[in-house]
Structure 1
């Protein structure tokens, strides 16, 4: 499967806010990723960067900011 070039993609403010809130509630990165699946989002690693995708199609929304690492 080919990877899209998402270098300049910006994640919507509402989605980014959801990611922040759920990360604050989760005790680990694994739990955070599991919680995001319930909202229809996933995090995948692409060429060393974490990319937010929309499930179930896997549409790439953008690269996570550095503060999530």
Structure 2
């Protein structure tokens, strides 16, 4: 079930702030993804890109900028 046909959509600034803040606090990628789930977001890897999705629907919000990985 690979979608990622969002055409490089830009993630809203408040959502990106949460993602960046939680990445700075997390000690590992696994912990970061767990912390994001608490806010209702997930990161999925599709064709070499990391896509931010909204849980539980899995709605794709946009491609994660490379500086956040």
Q: Give the Å deviation of 1:7.
A: 2.2
In the alignment, structure 2 segments of 5+ residues that lack a partner are none
Residue equivalent to 1:43: 43
Q: Give the Å deviation of 1:6.
A: 1.1
RMSD between aligned residues? 1.1
In the superposition, the TM-score normalised over structure 2's length comes to 0.93
Aligned pair count reads 69
Note if contact 2:33-2:43 (Cα within 8 Å) is conserved in structure 1.
yes
In the alignment, structure 1 segments of 5+ residues that lack a partner are none
In the superposition, the TM-score normalised over structure 1's length comes to 0.93
Matched, 1:62 2:62: yes
